[in-house]
Amino acid sequence: MAQPEQSYRIVVGMDLEEAGDVALVEALRLAQRVPGSEVHPVYAIAADPAVQLKAVDDMSRHLVRAMQRLAERIERICADQHVSQRTRMHVRFGDPVKVLQQVAVDYDADVIVVGTHGRRGVERLLLGSVASDLVRVARLPVIVARPKDFQGLEKSEQLDPARPGEELAKQRIVSDVIHVGRRDSHIAGLI
């Protein structure tokens, strides 16, 4: 008897900035490839000790406002991408890395997608990096999404470098597509 297909669950780290938008777009692209996928956008409100001392009403208002902003952002991105995708939004208080991991565990996620601000050097040391921390500690695959930008890079003149001691003209390039299950793989190289 055939087992029913399980859905593919994608947890997405959202920061209500461009990096989170890029992560959501990538998660939506992944979800479109697997029917029945679930996308779980997650926004973590950093647990500030000062906030914890405030009244519960203040925290509730902050939570509701964050949920509204996240919902608006998700709707806009889905509309911009012309995608109708089932999403389940999560807004929680706490450290973003821990929150993302916990949502992944709670919903048996298959992958976490996060964006990156591209910070380097001292700025990264001072502000940290949710993406790099997740890659280091997560117990499931993590995709770090960033906008495609090949500016300043050039394509290779040849597929592979010439072998030592051989002239390129004497080498032959072999290219073939092999079919493995539902996937096609392109194999290319020099012989």
- Set out the domains of the chain in order of their start, with CATH numbers: 9-145 (3.40.50.620), 156-191 (no CATH)
Q: What is the pLDDT of residue 92?
A: 92
Q: Mean pLDDT of residues grouped by 10 in the chain (191 residues)?
A: 70 92 95 92 79 64 89 92 88 93 97 83 58 92 90 76 57 62 62 52
Q: How many helices (H) and strands (E) does the chain have?
A: 6, 7
Q: What is the pLDDT of residue 55?
A: 61
Q: Considering the entire predicted model, what is its pTM?
A: 0.74
User: Is residue 173 a contact partner of residue 164, using CB atoms and an 8 Å limit?
Assistant: no
Q: What is the pLDDT of residue 137?
A: 93
Q: What is the pLDDT of residue 46?
A: 80
Cα–Cα distance, 32 to 42 (Å, whole number): 19
CA 145 to chain centre: 5
Q: What is the pLDDT of residue 50?
A: 57
Q: What is the pLDDT of residue 127?
A: 44
Report how far apart, in Å, the C-alpha atoms of 101 and of each of 96, 111, 139, 148 are. Answer: 8, 10, 8, 26
Sign (positive/negative) of CA torsion 114, 119, 123, 124?
Answer: positive
